[in-house]
Amino acid sequence: MITNVPGICLVTSYADCVPLYFVDPVKKAIGLSHSGWRGTVGKIGKNTVQLMQENFGSKPEDLLAAVGPSVCMDCYEVSEDVIEQFKEAFEKKYWEDLFYKKENGKYQLNLWKANELIFLESGILPEHMAITNVCTHCNSKILYSHRTMGNNRGNLCAFLALK
């Protein structure tokens, strides 16, 4: 979701998936996207930046971007079919930063790193990024985590609005 209308609050909900926030302080526009593994492999963050460019004339080098609290690499086990899609979406030189295979045949996947790479690919400057180190699953006493609580859970929300 994107807007340049002050007072409209964008809201997305999460419980382990990754919130992405975008602010353009020059053109006064914002964007918010929900980047679970499907959104991440489809590079929804890059799509959001492109939409801000097309609709508001945003320049990637002006944007401030953040990855919000979500599941960390150590807590995020996925199967090989998910990894196959990440191998198609990301160059091989990044694979060792993005995932590793375990003895049980499953993988651990780093959605924070993947979204950081997507920010860079979109033209956002490293000094304009904030990447969380807060995991929802590691902190499930205070944050909602689907991996901890299953369907018996609430939602965390990301909020973003222009004054």
Do the beta carbons of residue 95 and residue 82 sit within 8 Å?
no
Closer residue to Zn ion (CB): 3 or 140: 140
d(CA 152, CA 1): 27
Closer residue to Zn ion (CB): 58 or 115: 115
Q: Does 138 bind Zn ion (CB under 5 A)?
A: yes
Closer residue to Zn ion (CB): 22 or 76: 76
Exposed/middle/buried for residue 132 (C-beta within 10 Å: 0-12, 13-18, 19+): middle
Q: Which of 22, 36, 19 is nearest to 109 (CA)?
A: 36
What is the C-alpha R_g of the chain?
16
Do the beta carbons of residue 78 and residue 100 sit within 8 Å?
no
Minimal distance in Å, beta carbon 138 to Zn ion?
A: 3
Question: Mask: binding to Zn ion, 63-102, rule CB under 5 A, as x and -?
Answer: ---------x--x---------------------------
Stretch that binds Zn ion, among 8-16, 93-101, 110-118, 128-136 (CB under 5 A): 128-136
Minimal distance in Å, beta carbon 76 to Zn ion?
A: 8
Q: Which of 70, 60, 49 is nearest to 2 (CA)?
A: 49
Minimal distance in Å, beta carbon 115 to Zn ion?
A: 16
Closer residue to Zn ion (CB): 70 or 122: 70
Residues that bind Zn ion (CB under 5 A): 72, 75, 135, 137-138
